[in-house]
Structure 1
Amino acid sequence: MISVIMACYNAENFLDPAIVSILNQTFTEFELIMVDDGSEDETIQIIERYQKQDDRIRVIHSDHGGASQARNLGIEVAKYPWIGIMDSDDIALPQRFERQMEVIAAMPQLVGLGATVHHINSRGEILSVSPLGPTTEAQFYQMRQQGHVVNLNHPTALFKKDIILKVGGYRAEFFPAEDLELMDRMAEYGPIISLPEPLLLYRVHSQSGSMQRFFFQRQVMRYVRSRHVARLEGKPEPTFEEFIQERAAWPILKRLSKYLETLAMFYYRRSGLLVGEKQYIPASFYLGLSAILNPQYTLPRIWGQVLSPQTREMVKTSSRLVK
């Protein structure tokens, strides 16, 4: 059984389809905990309308403190052993929880399970396919041993509640990479893997936290990897402040190289947003910049997320499901 946590802040634009996609799941043994994070638009009215229609919905009202605080509040009151993460602007495909619970029944040792996502634009049109995370337990342990940080498409995640509580929940200071930081701590207690099939439509738009704080997010990701490597080597874990100070002491050419690498990732992300809004000329400009700065990053992603035959077939299949 699953306690689904949906943190909401001024979410009126996309909240209806997000809620409906959970209520219409083929797996029905869940509660939906809606945590309003001090919204100032029509979010509360939308939530209350659905609460009157479905008694599986519980509502928590909170002063605005950010998504991490809101999710922690929901997790604290959750009734069930598995926590399902859902964002208020995404759409879960109907079989999401059914497929995930089938895997969990067969692999009770998991502490986290995610899935592949489709990126969609503001109109709900499917743009691409984005897998993330190890797909087998063996791959999970191999990645961890090699110093890699295990990450999932966060709004597809199912987490064991007792492990989240054991490690202390989300840490707001790492927003918008607080999900990765949490998973790194949870991974010390068991495997975290991802299903290769798309189970969620992930909405990309310029107002998302990952776009507005992209460079800080990448900095946190690198810190989490540095912290994990220190654990593997039996060294003291650096604080975030110590990590920043160490990087500031790097030679200027090394710092410039890392900056350009991150800039290429940002341009690739920006290009994808522009494609979603059918602004193809500026999208091509940013995609070209990304490819020039870091072709090893950009070109494989264009193929894997958009152009490959397997990707195109996945998009066709999911498009039929959501019509």
Structure 2
Amino acid sequence: MISVVMPSYNASAFIAEAIESILNQTFQELELIIVDDGSIDDTVEIIQRHRYRDQRLRLIQIQHGGICQALNTGIKASKYGWIARMDADDIAVPTRLEKQMKAAIANPNVVVWGSYVHHLSLTGEVLSLQRQGPLTEHEFYSLKEAGEIPFVIHPTMFYKKDALLAVGGYDSQIALAQDLDLLSRLTEYGPILTVPEPLLLYRMHQKSSSMEKFFAQQFFSRYIVARHHARLNGTPLPVLDAFKQAEANTPFIAQFSQKVHLWGQFYYRKAGLHVAEKKYWRGGFYLSLAIATHPTYAIQRLWQQKFSPEARRALKQVSTSAGNSHPELDRSPQYAHLSRPQSLPNSRR
């Protein structure tokens, strides 16, 4: 049995597709807990309509307090030993939970399973493949011994409830990059691995937190890495204000190099989003900026996501004569409206 926890906030544009993609999984022994974080649009009404049709769906409404509070509320309310993370604007491939549960049963010591994802545009087009996370325990322990945080894509996470509770769940004091912080703490409880298949369609848009708060998110990521290293070394965890001051005292050349590289990453993301919106000249402009400011990152990512043999095979599998919609979803009538978003959501990512 699986508990799926989905936080929602003003997600009316896409939450119906997200709900249907879970309730229509090939693995049916599940509960879907949606924690609405004070939505002011018609998100709750949409959830209520689905709850009326399927009693596996549970709705919890809370005052707006942020994604950590919403996720922790859902985790606390869950009934089962495995919890699947899900966002309200993404779409789970029909076999996602089945494949992650099979992996969990075959590898009982693993505490978190992720998966690859396909990036999805607002209009329902599959854009690229993202491969993320260690595939074997040997790879996980090699990363851990090197002081790195083994990372899997947040909305694909499938984790043991016991391990989540043991580390205290999500830390509401971490304003951004909560997933990286959680994984840092979970590394002490067992391997974190990835199912090497795209089991989620990950919605990309300009209003996502990863775009609107990109530089703040990168700062918190560095802070979490510093905390991770302190934890490994048995030294006191750095205080946020002290860490900010230490960064401010970094030599100018190091700060400048870091900022240039971050701008390169930001430009690359902007390029992808503009291409997704079919604004090709803007996409080309930002891609040129990305290559100019951080060529290693931009060229490597472009290769991995679009032009590598694995990426080209994956994208070819999801292409159809009508466009780039996902073939597994095409076979389900409830996804016929996939490319008809109602409005741009206020994303929680």
Q: TM-score, normalised by structure 2?
A: 0.90
C-alpha distance in structure 2 between counterparts of 1:175 and 1:23, whole Å: 31
User: 1:169-318 residue pairs with structure 2 within 5 A?
Assistant: 169-318=169-318
1:71 lines up with 2:78 in the alignment: no
Instruction: Tell me if the contact between 1:167 and 1:186 (Cα under 8 Å) persists in the aligned partners.
Output: yes
SS at structure 1 position matched to 2:7: strand
Provide the residue aligned with 2:328 in structure 1.
Answer: 321
Provide the residue aligned with 2:6 in structure 1.
Answer: 6
Q: Which runs of 5+ in 2 are unaligned?
A: 319-325, 331-349
- Can you list the C-alpha shifts for 1:188-209, whole angstroms capped at 9, x where unaligned? 1111111111000000011111
1:146 lines up with 2:136 in the alignment: no
Moved more, 225-234 or 297-306: 225-234
- Can you list the C-alpha shifts for 1:221-249, whole angstroms capped at 9, x where unaligned? 11222222223334332223222221111
SS at structure 1 position matched to 2:245: helix
Counterpart code for 1:176 = L
C-alpha distance in structure 2 between counterparts of 1:147 and 1:243, whole Å: 19
CA RMSD, Structure 1 to Structure 2 (Å): 1.1
Moved more, 165-174 or 78-87: 165-174
Instruction: Tell me if the contact between 1:149 and 1:224 (Cα under 8 Å) persists in the aligned partners.
Output: no
Counterpart code for 2:201 = L
SS at structure 1 position matched to 2:86: strand
Provide the residue aligned with 1:45 in structure 2.
Answer: 45
Instruction: Tell me if the contact between 1:149 and 1:184 (Cα under 8 Å) persists in the aligned partners.
Output: yes
C-alpha distance in structure 1 between counterparts of 2:174 and 2:121, whole Å: 26
- Can you list the C-alpha shifts for 1:110-164, whole angstroms capped at 9, x where unaligned? 1100000000100111000001111111111100111111211111101111111
C-alpha distance in structure 1 between counterparts of 2:5 and 2:271, whole Å: 31
Q: Does 1 or 2 have the higher relative contact order (CA < 8 Å, sep 6+)?
A: 2
1:162 lines up with 2:165 in the alignment: no
SS at structure 2 position matched to 1:87: coil
Provide the residue aligned with 1:121 in structure 2.
Answer: 121
SS at structure 1 position matched to 2:205: coil
Percent of paired sites with the same residue: 47
Provide the residue aligned with 1:104 in structure 2.
Answer: 104
Provide the residue aligned with 1:62 in structure 2.
Answer: 62
C-alpha distance in structure 2 between counterparts of 1:231 and 1:168, whole Å: 16
Counterpart code for 1:128 = S
C-alpha distance in structure 2 between counterparts of 1:205 and 1:95, whole Å: 25
C-alpha distance in structure 2 between counterparts of 1:211 and 1:163, whole Å: 30
SS at structure 1 position matched to 2:59: strand
CA-CA distance at 1:308 after TM superposition: 1.9
CA-CA distance at 1:171 after TM superposition: 1.8
SS at structure 1 position matched to 2:173: helix
Number of paired residues?
323
Instruction: Tell me if the contact between 1:117 and 1:131 (Cα under 8 Å) persists in the aligned partners.
Output: yes
Q: Which runs of 5+ in 1 are unaligned?
A: none
Provide the residue aligned with 1:83 in structure 2.
Answer: 83
Instruction: Tell me if the contact between 1:82 and 1:159 (Cα under 8 Å) persists in the aligned partners.
Output: yes
Instruction: Tell me if the contact between 1:21 and 1:91 (Cα under 8 Å) persists in the aligned partners.
Output: yes
Provide the residue aligned with 2:323 in structure 1.
Answer: none
C-alpha distance in structure 2 between counterparts of 1:2 and 1:185, whole Å: 22
SS at structure 1 position matched to 2:20: helix
CA-CA distance at 1:183 after TM superposition: 1.1
| Structure with a larger share of its residues in helix | 1
C-alpha distance in structure 1 between counterparts of 2:186 and 2:297, whole Å: 28
C-alpha distance in structure 2 between counterparts of 1:223 and 1:151, whole Å: 16
C-alpha distance in structure 2 between counterparts of 1:291 and 1:149, whole Å: 27
- Can you list the C-alpha shifts for 1:34-83, whole angstroms capped at 9, x where unaligned? 11111111101100000010010011010111111111101011000111
Counterpart code for 1:120 = L
Q: TM-score, normalised by structure 1?
A: 0.97
Cα 1:173–1:206 change in 2 (3 A) is: farther
Counterpart code for 2:229 = V
C-alpha distance in structure 2 between counterparts of 1:173 and 1:290, whole Å: 32
C-alpha distance in structure 2 between counterparts of 1:202 and 1:220, whole Å: 22
Provide the residue aligned with 1:33 in structure 2.
Answer: 33
Instruction: Tell me if the contact between 1:6 and 1:87 (Cα under 8 Å) persists in the aligned partners.
Output: yes
CA-CA distance at 1:321 after TM superposition: 1.9
Provide the residue aligned with 2:21 in structure 1.
Answer: 21
C-alpha distance in structure 2 between counterparts of 1:176 and 1:206, whole Å: 17
